[in-house]
């Protein structure tokens, strides 16, 4: 595998890579990962770190050194059976070049819906121009490969509209269920001074504009007309936090929202899921929506927009509610759920059962099978 991003950079791509990297071992697949060095990360078995420089105005990401990446991927590709590209930047071109030179199969996972992503970071350019650029970029890169993995049917259909003609395989990232089996509800609430009886809703993810957290803030503000003590917890870090804090204050939500920052995924994040009464999510650009499945695995009912990748998760109606894509409708769906204890208990039980169908070992077995068909 080769990627422009990996831990300690926290996002869905890093999580997907690590989940599959761990789960593929029992399937008989030895994974070597080439990824950026962010600081002084210690060497790990199977992970090769490459020199990378900071990107102006983007403190979270790194730009891989082309020469070192090219040579390192080339050397490891010679000893591997195939190349799996995880990101579309330096990693893509180094992975594709190495695979073709060694005559090895090459595939990529399409993690990010760039068409609806770029305008948040280049608002000075015409949206139509950015969308056209993203589509051409994605079509060209995908059609250079032997296969493409997409985490949802919606993403597969969108790439087909772009003109991607290589085989596409819908294969979501699985959930390591053991990591999201239990959490300390009382301890977490006590640590943050939240009374046990206070209703709490949770968002987990990057605090970025494309996550549509502003929509959630408005919905929570309106839901509080029926549930006055409702508290909204936002976990994660990102560039939109200052603007979202100002929005919350303008809506009179200062005492109804807390930005908790990044929470350790091994311990504090499961506790946060356990401490909440519902999970809310409104991104329209997710290619999958792993956090919905994490919440469900913890027995936490979900209220979310059924858009792009989250549509696959919410479609069966098990453990989650596909809310209307308008603030009032979303607020009503949320308040109705919080007012109905029996319904919450039923959805919680459904969520746990449903999440088992998305277990990491199941998805890793499917990925290992796909690898073997390409050899």
Burial level of 2, CB count in 10 A (0-12/13-18/19+)?
Answer: buried
Residue 284: inside a domain: yes
pLDDT digits (tens, 9 = 90+) for 219-244: 999 999 999 999 999 999 999 999 99
Confidence (pLDDT) at 119: 55
Angle subtended at Cα 142 by Cα 137 and Cα 143, rounded to the nearest 5 degrees: 105
Q: State the alpha helices, DSSP H only, in 144-228.
A: 153-162, 185-191, 213-223
Q: Which of 45, 115, 32 is nearest to 76 (CA)?
A: 32
Residues 187 and 330 grouped into a single domain: yes
SS3 content of the chain, % helix, strand, coil (to 5): 45, 15, 35
- Are 219 and 341 members of one domain? yes
**Other Cβ atoms closer than 10 A to 243:** 13
Task: Flag whether 4 is in a domain.
Answer: no
The answer to whether position 7 is within a domain reads no
Q: What is the pLDDT of residue 267?
A: 87
Structural domains counted in the chain: 2
Residues 165 and 188 in one domain: no
pTM, full prediction:
0.90
116 and 184 housed in the same domain: no
The CATH number for 162's domain is 3.40.50.2000
| 248-271 pLDDT tens trace | 999 999 999 999 999 998 889 999
Question: Structural domain of residue 30, as residue ranges?
Answer: 12-173+360-374
Task: Answer yes or no: do 231 and 162 share one domain.
Answer: no
- On whether both 254 and 370 belong to a single domain, the answer is no
Q: Are residues 187 and 70 in the same domain?
A: no
166 located within any domain: yes
Q: Are residues 297 and 315 in the same domain?
A: yes
The stretch 73-92 carries a mean pLDDT of 98
5 located within any domain? no
Percent of the chain with pLDDT over 90: 89
pLDDT over threshold 90, residue 42: no
In a domain, 275, yes or no: yes
On whether both 129 and 181 belong to a single domain, the answer is: no
Whether residue 133 has pLDDT greater than 60: yes
């Amino acid at each position: 595998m080769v990627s422009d991003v990996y831990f300690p950079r926290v996002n869905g791509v890093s999580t997907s890579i690590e989940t599959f990297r761990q789960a593929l071992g029992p399937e008989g697949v030895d994974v070597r990962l080439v990824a950026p060095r962010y600081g002084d990360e210690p060497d790990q078995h199977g992970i090769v770190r490459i020199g990378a420089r900071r990107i102006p105005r983007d403190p979270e990401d790194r730009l891989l050194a082309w020469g070192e990446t090219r040579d390192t991927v080339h050397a490891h590709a010679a000893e591997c059976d195939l190349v799996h590209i995880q990101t579309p930047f330096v990693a893509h071109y180094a992975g594709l070049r190495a695979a073709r030179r060694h005559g090895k199969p090459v595939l990529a996972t399409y993690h990010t819906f760039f068409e609806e992503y770029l305008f948040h970071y280049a608002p000075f350019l015409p949206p139509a121009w950015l969308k056209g650029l993203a589509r051409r970029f994605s079509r060209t890169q995908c059609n250079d490969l032997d296969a493409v993995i997409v985490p949802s049917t919606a993403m597969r259909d969108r790439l087909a509209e772009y003109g991607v003609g290589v085989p596409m395989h819908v294969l979501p990232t699985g959930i390591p269920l053991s990591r999201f089996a239990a959490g300390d509800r009382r301890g977490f609430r006590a640590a943050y001074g939240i009374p046990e009886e206070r209703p709490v809703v949770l968002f987990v993810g990057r605090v970025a504009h494309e996550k549509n957290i502003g929509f959630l803030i408005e919905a929570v503000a309106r839901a509080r007309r029926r549930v006055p003590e409702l508290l909204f917890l936002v976990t994660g870090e990102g560039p939109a936090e200052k603007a979202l804090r100002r929005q919350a204050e303008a809506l009179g939500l200062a005492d109804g929202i807390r930005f908790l920052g990044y929470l350790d995924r091994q311990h504090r994040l499961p506790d946060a899921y356990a401490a909440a009464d519902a999970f809310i999510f409104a991104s329209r650009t997710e290619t999958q929506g792993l956090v919905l499945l994490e919440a469900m695995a913890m027995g936490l009912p979900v209220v979310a927009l059924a858009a792009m990748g989250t549509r696959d998760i919410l479609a069966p109606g098990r453990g989650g509610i596909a809310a209307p894509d308008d603030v009032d409708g979303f607020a009503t769906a949320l308040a109705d759920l919080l007012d109905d204890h029996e319904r919450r208990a039923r959805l919680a039980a459904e969520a746990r059962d449903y999440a088992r169908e998305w277990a990491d070992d199941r998805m890793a077995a499917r990925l290992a099978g796909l690898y073997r068909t390409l050899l």
